Amino acid sequence: MFDAANTNRKDKKSTNTLDRQEFVNFYHQLTRRPELEELFVKFSRGKGVMNASDLLCFMREGQKRHDTDEEYCRHIIEIFEPQMAVKNREQLSLIGFTNFLKSEKQQLFKPKHGTVYQDMTRPFSHYYIDSSHNTYLSDDQLRGPSKVEAYISALERGCRCVELDCWDGSDDEPVIYHGYTLTSKILFRQVIEAVKLHAFKASPYPVILSLENHCSLHQQKVLASHLKNILGDLLWSPEGSYLKVMPSPEDLKHKIIIKGKRLPFPEAEVVSDEDESAENNNNIPSPAEDKKSKHKMVKEMSDITALQSVSFKGVDRAMAEEGAFVIFSLVEGKIEKLLLTQACEVNLLSHSKLLRIYPAGTRTDSSNYNPVPMWNAGCQVVALNYQTGSEPMQLNHGRFLDNGGTGYVLKPNFLLSDAMFGIVNGTVVNNNTKTLRITIVSGYQIPKPKDSDRGEVIDPFVKVEIHGVSSDYHEARTKAIDNNGLNPRWYESFNFTVRVPELAMVRFVVKDEDRGRDDFIGYYCLPFNSMQEGYRHFPIYNKYGSQYSQSMIFVHTTILSS
């Protein structure tokens, strides 16, 4: 392209330079989108410009927006047409049409779902809550560094439940680290200061501090003092041992909630050990086997702990637990076993109690489990290692794009109904089955894999995956386009039947085809019900959830009721 644009070589001292007009021509060739030109020619009927009537036809036929009128189309022309003479004639050029199709509201993700559109006045147990495990770690679970910045990053990415493992430190200052390991230590006070500054930048809805309290009685008082003095009015600590009614996210906007053990009555000094730190196996203990250790707790910490952590001793005993605002923590292996035999009972428990799931201690490399089966059963606080870029965190990213990225997403109504939970396993018919037809049209400025050879040109392909209930899992992939990461074009179509769209997510993975192993380039994930029909772009994210600048995939989607 550069050589083709460099037409005036004889007039230059150096052949590898472009003058002003040559650079403009080079830029237009570099950014040319033949697939968009084809659409433009079709809907402008070859006139070279689109008027409001042409654009209305495109909006209704191409974008499935039957509620659009010509007045709205004139508004589009006013915003996206850069050439004043064309704009004054109420027409849209190819450049204006391209600008419009690349705009945020025309992307695959529904604009409405990028705002808070769900009812936020229902009890906490009705929502999925974006959650992190061992939030302080930035690497592995044994030797990696602990960083205050890890809390800042998680909170600013929308995480609403962060974990703090608290231990005695020197100079009467409690510290946070992964106990009995070689991970580094950070001051509890500094973490709370960072939480105060960054808690509500991504979302106004409440932040839960999941405290594992291993401190002596004296340093527990220091914990309580720091929480009260630093957080001030942000700290929510209701009166009384038990709440009578579980609050809603709307009730606690801009509030910080402490999750942990509470003393059973004012005169008590002893509570059972925190579930996660005491977890030695994945089995559910019987009452006779329940020999969890006890430790002392100061009243000052108990009084400011609003979300009560209760040891899980089986579904029946959990259902009988008093208190409206309680949470049970289960290691991944334990919940996986329960879902094989008592999925309905687990879901019933999640109607009124919070269930927190966390990775097994054997995941010393900070890997993650698949969160989807837990979400399908109604578990709300499915905690993942945020520092690990992999498919589980990408699915988590997609799940919590919904509802304005607030970190709270309302569960489907059938997960709150004992009679309708059978929709998940297929014993109850879902009358909302959909068929998705998706065409992967093209890519634009797809980057090379991070570790690729410098001179290599990629051979990109796109994989489409449906995640949700087990019967809905499907995947398909395009062919690879040889040596073209700039503007590959596939024009390949796939059909998917989605039985439970309310729980389904669509994950796109862009890879570079290589001998032996295909290299991961990027992904995009979103809820099935957040997809727009028509001709749509979506951005590409690297494996850690950071968006690539300019890179995008162009698709066409149709969603039909089956």
Per DSSP, the residues of 93-108 read: -HHHHHHHHTSGGGSS
**Single-letter amino acid, residue 382:** V
Give CA–CA dist 546/21, Å, rounded: 35
126 included as an active-site residue: no
Give CA–CA dist 141/368, Å, rounded: 12
H helix runs in 136-260, sequence order: 148-156, 188-198, 217-231
Sequence-separated (6 or more) residues with CB below 8 Å from residue 415: 347, 350, 377, 378, 421, 424
At residue 514, the 3 state secondary structure works out as coil
Residue of 133, 214, 226, 467 marked catalytic: 133
At residue 243, the 3 state secondary structure works out as coil
Residue of 28, 66, 75, 178 marked catalytic: 178
Which regions of 235-361 does DSSP assign to beta strands (E)?
235-236, 256-260, 270-272, 294-296, 307-310, 326-331, 354-358
Distance of CA 276 to the CA centre of its chain: 24
Sequence-separated (6 or more) residues with CB below 8 Å from residue 498: 433, 434, 435, 436, 466, 468, 472, 504, 528
**Single-letter amino acid, residue 431:** N
Q: In the 3-class helix/strand/coil scheme, how is 469-502 assigned residue by residue? A: CHHHCEEEECCCCCCCCCCCEEEEEEEEEECCCC
- CA-based R_g, the chain, Å: 27
Query: What burial letters (b/e) apply to 452-462, b meaning 16+ CB within 10 Å?
Result: beeeeebbbbb
133 included as an active-site residue: yes
Q: Which sign, positive or negative, has the C-alpha torsion 303, 305, 306, 307? A: negative
Give CA–CA dist 43/50, Å, rounded: 7
Per DSSP, the residues of 159-179 read: --EEEEEEE--GGG--EES-T
Per DSSP, the residues of 267-301 read: T--EEEPPHHHH---SSPPPTTT----EEE--HHH
Question: How deeply is 423 buried, as exposed, middle or buried, from its count of CB atoms within 10 A (0-12, 13-18, 19+)?
Answer: buried
The residues that are catalytic are: 133, 178
